[in-house]
Structure 1
Amino acid sequence: MGRARCVSGRGRARLAARLGAGSRAGPDLGAGPRGVPRQRRRQRRRLRTGQLTSPSRSESEVQPAPAMEQPRKAVVVTGFGPFGEHTVNASWIAVQELEKLGLGDSVDLHVYEIPVEYQTVQRLIPALWEKHSPQLVVHVGVSGMATAVTLEKCGHNKGYKGLDNCRFCPGSQCCVEDGPESIDSIIDMDAVCKRVTTLGLDVSVTISQDAGRYLCDFTYYTSLYQSHGRSAFVHVPPLGKPYNADQLGRALRAIIEEMLDVLEQSEGKINCCQNTECHSGLPRPHPARDSERDVHPPGPDQEGQVHQLRI
């Protein structure tokens, strides 16, 4: 019988390397003297010569994370219903044209027709702000004297003597008891007017500081007080004098888009005419007491009109 061979530890290591022991690829009888499988040696040579690319991460790993979607802005735009000689109110027609055009994918546009009634305005304006928490509220009214689209700078608190469609006017002849004489919009109307003018629209745009002391002015002041100045008012001429519905709708869209842009640059500002106190310190609006009003029963269509407002 032959003598048994004793394999040293170093020899066992060399043998294991030759047989591929401990290699993830398993035994490879074609391994080289250093125990590196022939397939691996070929891959390394091909990598050095550029014939083989190294494994890359999957597309899902290398794709950038999707950007967070920007929150949509809520914008409320109102027009008025018929009154007096305006059996078709150009303001509501213009707002309906704006609704067809929209304000882009980033804006949720909500439009409402407001009856020409003081008491409805006092209920409706706070309800609109509570329901939509809008970025901006724009009220649109018609002016029989206007020949251009007019941006109103401020609303006034006192001097309301004209009767509304329900033959009612506030007994105190004011919007908010103990409120400031007038409130400016925080939107720079001069800047908006200049911007819109440079767009080359076929509509003239101008500015004003007197919205008329009727429902337009009353609505504007009430909204400015409620919103801390984040409201605007636009007067349009009657239809055909000289602009048609499409022209007014496109003008409104351009104006509101510029207002939103200007508003972002003037966040948190509020100017109260003849009152240096910050608006946030003003008392919240409250309607005059019934005993101080010339109260008249609502018209037969009042409930139906309020229902149409979807508030």
Structure 2
Amino acid sequence: MEQKKTVVVTGFEPFGEHAVNASWVAVQELKKLGLGPAVNLHVTEVPVEYEAVQNLLPSLWDQYKPQLVVHVGVSGMATTVTLEKCGQNQGYSRPDNCHSCPKSGCCVEGGPDCIDSAIDMDLVCKSVNNSDLGVSISVSEDAGRYLCDYTYYVSLYLGKGRSAFVHVPPLGKPYSAEQLAQALRAVILKMLDLLEHSTEVQHCQHSH
């Protein structure tokens, strides 16, 4: 019998103008949908705090030993479900919910400037856009140098590239929580499929 895969999906707590964080609402909806009988899905809410991320992420990787960790964040500028290709190590000066930011301005001192996901986001995007989901998917190479980008980099570093970051638009702009959850489900199942066929981690090839 094939062993079940383990996937951890995170959303963020409210911050700034996002009194309700669409990412966590969508992740809770995804939990109701599930990822099918072959996948153990664990979801968790991430504080919008750099230090909390540094403490939480290693424990998620250690505790669940997941095949894949997918972080979901909200972007007020997004109008599509956006797949982030890479995480950046430096440039973190925007204060978090506790009004603090990393002293060094980076995620992992001495880490590479940029880490690419082991997953080909262009392929995931194309595949899901070709299905009749009714939710538009796009890709991005800049996760924004705030908690989203920070979380993504730390997770890519810990998980040797077996991590993904998905930005979702605020609720109702234009998608409902249910639609976002359906999109996340489709995207994550495709990512798992691709991960089975690739194990190499690449450092960033493109110029920023």
**TM-score, normalised with respect to structure 2:** 0.97
Structure 1 residue 202 and structure 2 residue 134: aligned?
Answer: yes
Q: Which residue of 2 is the match for residue 80 of structure 1? A: 12
Q: Whose relative contact order is higher, 1 or 2, with alpha carbons under 8 Å and at least 6 apart?
A: 2
**Within 5 Å, which residues of 2 pair with 1:7-156?**
69-156=1-88
Distance in structure 1 (CA, Å) of the matches to 2:204 and 2:167: 21
Q: Which residue of 2 is the match for residue 273 of structure 1? A: 204
Identity of aligned residues (%): 67
Write out the 4+ residue segments of structure 1 that deviate beyond 3 Å after TM superposition. none
Q: Partner of 1:272: helix, strand, or coil?
A: coil
Structure 1 residue 237 and structure 2 residue 169: aligned?
Answer: yes
Distance in structure 1 (CA, Å) of the matches to 2:62 and 2:201: 20
Q: Which residues of structure 2 form unaligned runs of 5+?
A: none
CA RMSD of aligned residues (A): 0.7
Counterpart amino acid of residue 145 in structure 1: M
Q: Which residues of structure 1 form unaligned runs of 5+?
A: 1-68, 275-311
Distance in structure 2 (CA, Å) of the matches to 1:70 and 1:183: 31
Q: Partner of 2:190: helix, strand, or coil?
A: helix
Q: 1:103-161: CA deviations, max 9, x gaps?
A: 00010000000010000000111100000000100000000000000000000000001
> Which residue of 182, 185, 190 corresponds with 1:253?
185
The higher radius of gyration belongs to 1
Counterpart amino acid of residue 233 in structure 1: F
Q: 1:270-301: CA deviations, max 9, x gaps?
A: 11126xxxxxxxxxxxxxxxxxxxxxxxxxxx
Q: 1 or 2, which has the higher strand percentage?
A: 2
Deviation at 1:205, TM superposition (A): 0.2
Distance in structure 1 (CA, Å) of the matches to 2:38 and 2:101: 39
Deviation at 1:227, TM superposition (A): 0.5
Deviation at 1:264, TM superposition (A): 0.8
Q: Partner of 1:163: helix, strand, or coil?
A: coil
Count of aligned residue pairs for this structure pair: 205
